[in-house]
A and B are shown apart, each in its own frame.
Chain A
Amino acid sequence: MDINYTPEERAFRDEVRGFLNDKLPADISRKVKEHKRLGKEDTIRWQKILNEQGWLALHWPKEHGGTGWSPIQKHIFEEECAEAGAPTVLPFGVNMVAPVIIKFGTQEQKDHYLPRILRSDDWWCQGYSEPGAGSDLAGLKTRAVRDGDHYIVNGQKTWTTLGQHANMIFCLVRTDPDAKKQEGISFLLIDMEKSEGITVRPLITLDGEHEVNEVFFDDVKVPVENLVGEENKGWTCAKYLLTFERTGIAGVGSSKAALAHLKQVAREQQVNGKPLIEEPHFRARLADVEMELMSLEMTNLRTVAAAEAGGVPGAESSFLKIMGTELRQEITDLFRRAAGPHALPFLPEELEGDFEGPYVGPEFAASVASRYFNFRKLSIFGGSNEIQKNIISKMILGL
């Protein structure tokens, strides 16, 4: 038993650090670290830099232009990126639709889409949830009817993250309404720019941000060659995607960065003439978070090491999702408290990267309340934490 990285793993970490040091644009990492809004251009600029290095497609096999990295290498990379303030890679193309195309797609689909994803030519979004199909995803109703060389798609998707920027959407659609729930679903790729009949409408979340959308399909013609896998076998693709290895699901790197920032803030903020970090209640909660983070990090590393040894993470991903999201939410709660009354002023312009001040309160306080509310999403999306508990009940408890 040895919790330290091997010399090879340390050398790899140094290589990643060197790259981030040289290539991560300072203006972008500043926005990430200070919780400013990131634009589409920021994300694409960073993805192009990663791709130039050959480090964008973390989970793809080498033959398709992926890194071919081991689970530990991926873990190290994600940790270092979080610490350096690198933006999150948009997952929908590179980490979600691409693995499905690699696994189930035709050669033509691979040849067409994979290079475009690597070059960030397409901005993908995900068409899964519907107003009536959230946790019960297989209850989806968006209909695709075969008409010669096309499917005609009608229906509505919702919670479509960053769909306002997207030109491509991958959708689960119902192709056989008479089959059992999961058995009549297909996986379709839809061009949002070229297709007629698609409407994207913003959904404004409780923090005032435009992050998610609803997408309406009105007699949208989709060529049959955009079907991935077999017709009515889309649920297999969806399940593959949902269980697809997600080393970063615990968010340890971002929690560590956030906690370090929180401590910094708590040293600077004064309460009764003393630093907030010396205030007993706040300090006790900080220590509790630190303890939980240590436990989470080791649990994550155990899972990564098991994957390295060839294990397939099953219920562990669900454990990590629950623990990780609860901790990230707890940290945003502490940030909100650290700001005191200055968590109240709601000035969205202060979150723009080019805002030059003056800030109403301390600079860090500008984003804390909205981030706290925004982060409520963590325990809801990607399979709500309650659904994760159902999965664990079934998978390892046999209940």
Chain B
Amino acid sequence: MDFKLNDEQRMLEETVGRLVRDTYTFDARNKILESEQGFSADMWNQFAELGLLGVPFSEEAGGFNGGGPELMVVAEGFGRGLVVEPYLATVVLSGTLIDKLGNDAQKEQWVAAIIGGETRFALAAYEPQGRYDHTVVDTSAKKDGDGYVLSGEKAVVLHGDSADQLVVIARTAGSAGDRDGLSAFIVPADADGVTRKGYATIDGLRAAEITLSNVKVGGDALLGEEGKAIDALEATLDLGLITLCAEAAGAMEVACDQTLDYIKERQQFGVPIGKFQALQHRMVEMRMELEKVRSITMLAACSLDAPADLRKKRISAAKAQVGKSGRKVAEEAIQLFGGMGMMEETPVSHYAKRIVMIDHWFGDREYHLGILETLIDVDDHAA
């Protein structure tokens, strides 16, 4: 048993940490938020130069060969700076799915383009009727000569507004809710029949509602075997969940630190408000929730190779804990900051928004507790 980072992981942590500290200041981030794209292409290039876009990919593909702990380290660093670039959408969700399902030619083309920072992707999986359930897919992909014709609607596609390419999950067989019959396709975002309504999300990111109407793609757009995408999709979404949990841990840490600084500094009744026991205990509770999230995120990040049921159980438990503990930390941070916590100009309010809204990406507390409920009999011995 060993919770220390190895040399490579520490190096990653330092790389991300330095980048965020030096360049991702609150003001710099605000400028990025105001930009048209909602993220910084320049920052994206820096990610590429530093090798961050290759973290989960094999060394042969030009990647870092990282697993759960490596992604965790990167995402925690991003969480500390509330980084808004499409790392999760491009690298974690689309890149690893292509890497898992794609043939050599597809991987050579797309994984290399992701690692090099040339192409940005979005994963168009969830649909308006499905909420957080990735099997509720009505989008159809009908065979058309050598290729396919795709039609359907995709909801709240993370960074779907700016992506160059989409990985679309569509149904080649069965009906909504079936695990079989799901296929993954690479679709250029500017293909005929793709319409995107892009928007900002309240936590500083961008997303889009995407409509596909009779979008024609070639046979080489299909990733992996037709109708058999579910296992790879779920493994990919699990990586996404680990990334989100770690990002939450990083953001919660900063929210705790900023709150602690504030209550030591803010004077009322002639003393720093941190002298009041009522506030001290709330501060302690925030830190306790942070520790829980850190712990269970480590458990999730180290469970990628566990049997599928155990892996899902731990990852859903982690996401549910983030939903529960994150809400507590975010609400308490605002409360302890008082009126200042309500202000857009106060950084902690941005952390609070991100922490709370992470619960709404890829399954909230209730959704993941529901999954945990179905796995309640899966034996969990941490070690």
Contact = CB atoms under 8 A, between A and B. Distances in A.
A291 B264 contact: no
Interface string A377-399: 00000000010011011001111
Interface stretch (A35-43, A56-64, A144-152, A282-290): A282-290
Nearest to A83: B381
Interface of chain A: mostly helix, strand, loop or mixed: helix
Question: Which bucket holds chain A's interface residue count?
Answer: 35 or more
B275 A399 contact: yes
A47 B299 CA distance: 35
B81 to A, nearest CB: 22
B280 A397 contact: yes
Interface centre among A284, A319, A397 (most CB of B within 10 A): A397
B372 A392 contact: no
A205 to B, nearest CB: 27
Contact of B296 (A2, A4, A298, A386): A298
A283 B296 contact: no
A9 B264 contact: no
A398 B274 CA distance: 9
A322 B373 CA distance: 25
Interface centre among A304, A319, A323, A389 (most CB of B within 10 A): A389
A301 B373 contact: no
Contacts of A296: 292, 295
A28 B260 CA distance: 49
Nearest to A298: B295
Nearest to A284: B369
A386 to B, nearest CB: 7
Interface string A147-174: 0000000000000000000000000000
Interface of chain B: mostly helix, strand, loop or mixed: helix
Contact of A1 (B5, B275, B292, B377): B5
A287 B376 contact: yes
B35 interface: no
Given A1-B2, A277-B376, A291 B321 contact: yes
B302 interface: yes
A320 to B, nearest CB: 9
A237 to B, nearest CB: 27
Nearest to A299: B295
Interface centre among A305, A319, A398, A399 (most CB of B within 10 A): A399
A396 B287 contact: yes
Contacts of A286: 373, 376
Interface in B270-302: 274-275, 277, 280-281, 283-285, 287-288, 291-296, 298-299, 301-302
B3 A1 contact: yes
Contacts of B281: 386, 389, 393
A313 to B, nearest CB: 13
B380 interface: yes
A272 interface: no
B1 A392 contact: no
B324 to A, nearest CB: 8
A299 B292 contact: yes
Nearest to A326: B288
B66 to A, nearest CB: 12
A397 to B, nearest CB: 6
Interface string B347-383: 0000000000000000000000110110011001011
B292 A389 contact: no
B277 A4 contact: no
B291 A319 contact: yes
A393 B2 contact: no
Given A72-B1, A290-B372, A305-B1, A298 B299 contact: yes
A294 B299 contact: yes
B1 A301 contact: yes
Interface in A296-311: 296-299, 301-302, 304-306, 309
A368 B197 CA distance: 57
Contacts of A386: 281
A291 B382 contact: no
Given A1-B9, A283-B376, A298-B298, 9 more contacts: A1-B301, A2-B1, A3-B303, A3-B382, A72-B1, A288-B324, A292-B321, A299-B295, A301-B1
Q: 10 tightest CB-CB pairs across the interface, nearest first?
A: A298-B295, A295-B292, A393-B280, A299-B295, A295-B296, A291-B317, A389-B284, A287-B372, A3-B302, A1-B69
Interface of B: 1-6, 9, 69, 260, 263-264, 274-275, 277, 280-281, 283-285, 287-288, 291-296, 298-299, 301-303, 314, 317, 320-321, 324, 369-370, 372-373, 376-377, 380, 382-383
Interface of A: 1-6, 9, 72, 263, 277, 283-284, 286-288, 290-292, 294-299, 301-302, 304-306, 309, 319, 322-323, 386, 389-390, 392-393, 396-399
17 contacts: A2-B1, A4-B383, A5-B383, A290-B372, A291-B320, A291-B369, A294-B296, A295-B321, A296-B295, A302-B295, A304-B1, A319-B288, A319-B291, A389-B280, A392-B284, A392-B287, A398-B264
